[in-house]
């Protein structure tokens, strides 16, 4: 083999590595307004990067009249791998604080199963809750990863495949299922995004970690008035919420994106 021919495979390999290293990941930056019965009660901000892997960061805080009742702040993060079958989280962390306490949750996961979970402090009523079994910690996602809806290639991003699924969620304390059913397609318009969205109806089923005598848990389990609008991320071939409305015992809760920016960045996909 001549020196030129020897160099050709190496040059081709370098070219392929370069191409893989300059692939583009999809990014999202979104600001959400929270309202209850039409009254502003808070805001949330989310940022994310999605390609073969993902990382989502969310922060929220109550504002206005809600602060008079319960001044709450929170931040959450999740990261992992993203496939056509859905997210496979590796790490989840959540911190919430109000005037009474600060609670932190940390989880490490592998193969959609919990490897380690730490909750500080534990709920004061932990002995009154339905125990979470080891089986409850398998085939699950965390609450942040649950916001990513992967759709197989070839399926319409805003068609039935966007919604029709059952999501098994574990937040470190409670285990529950969310069943999504396709309800149609709508046009959404907000700063940064104007286009079609998939509309899903949602049902909540508590599994464990909750108090069996909880009125709020029973109310949510019987609730037929929960909807989520999912906006498409074409490069990642996935969707994330742009609008959520839930009927609660206190009135209609609406989480609506006032700013929803989708972009791209160079990402090292040769992992």
CA distance 218 to 176: 12
Please, which contacts does 114-122 make with residues 24 or more away whose CB atoms are closer than 8 Å?
114/138, 114/140, 114/170, 117/172, 118/172, 119/172, 119/173
CATH of the domain at 216: 2.40.360
What's the pTM value of the predicted model, to 2 decimals? 0.87
Tokens of 260: 């929803």
Report mean pLDDT in 10-residue bins for the chain, 271 residues: 42 36 76 95 96 95 67 94 93 93 97 98 95 98 98 95 98 98 98 98 98 95 98 95 95 96 69 37
Range(s) of the domain holding residue 185: 26-266
CA distance 134 to 132: 7
Tokens of 116: 């380690």
Inside any domain, residue 2: no
Inside any domain, residue 6: no
Inside any domain, residue 3: no
Inside any domain, residue 21: no
Inside any domain, residue 11: no
pLDDT value of position 98: 87
pLDDT value of position 69: 55
pLDDT value of position 264: 86
pLDDT value of position 173: 97
Inside any domain, residue 12: no
Contacts of 198 (CB under 8 A, 6+ apart): 157, 158, 159, 162, 163, 182, 185, 229, 230, 232, 239
Contacts of 160 (CB under 8 A, 6+ apart): 182
Inside any domain, residue 35: yes
Inside any domain, residue 20: no
CA distance 23 to 140: 29
pLDDT value of position 100: 84
pLDDT value of position 267: 54
pLDDT value of position 12: 36
Given a contact cutoff of 8 angstroms between Cβ atoms, the answer to whether 233 and 26 are in contact is yes
Number of separate domains in the chain: 1
């Amino acid at each position: 083999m001549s020196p030129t021919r020897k160099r050709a495979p190496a040059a081709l390999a370098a070219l392929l590595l370069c191409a893989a290293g300059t692939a583009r990941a999809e990014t999202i930056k979104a600001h959400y307004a929270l309202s209850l019965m039409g009254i502003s009660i808070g805001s949330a901000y989310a940022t994310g990067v999605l390609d073969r892997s993902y990382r989502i960061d969310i922060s929220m805080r109550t504002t206005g009249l809600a602060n008079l009742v319960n001044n709450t702040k929170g931040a959450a993060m999740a990261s992992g791998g993203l496939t056509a079958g859905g997210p496979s989280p590796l790490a989840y962390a959540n911190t919430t604080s109000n005037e009474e306490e600060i609670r932190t949750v940390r989880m490490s996961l592998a193969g959609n199963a919990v490897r380690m979970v730490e909750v500080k402090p534990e709920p004061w009523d932990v002995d009154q809750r339905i125990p979470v079994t080891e089986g409850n910690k398998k085939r699950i996602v965390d609450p942040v990863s649950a916001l990513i809806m992967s759709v197989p290639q070839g399926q319409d991003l805003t068609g039935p495949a966007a919604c029709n699924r059952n999501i098994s969620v574990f937040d470190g304390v409670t285990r529950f299922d969310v069943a999504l059913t396709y309800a149609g397609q709508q046009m959404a318009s907000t700063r940064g995004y104007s286009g079609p969205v998939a509309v899903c109806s949602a049902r909540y089923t508590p599994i464990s970690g909750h108090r069996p005598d909880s009125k709020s848990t029973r109310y949510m389990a019987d609730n037929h008035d929960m909807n989520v609008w999912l906006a498409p991320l074409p490069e990642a071939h996935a969707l994330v919420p742009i609008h959520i409305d839930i009927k609660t015992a206190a009135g209609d809760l609406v989480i609506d994106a006032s700013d929803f920016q989708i972009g791209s960045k160079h990402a090292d996909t040769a992992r």
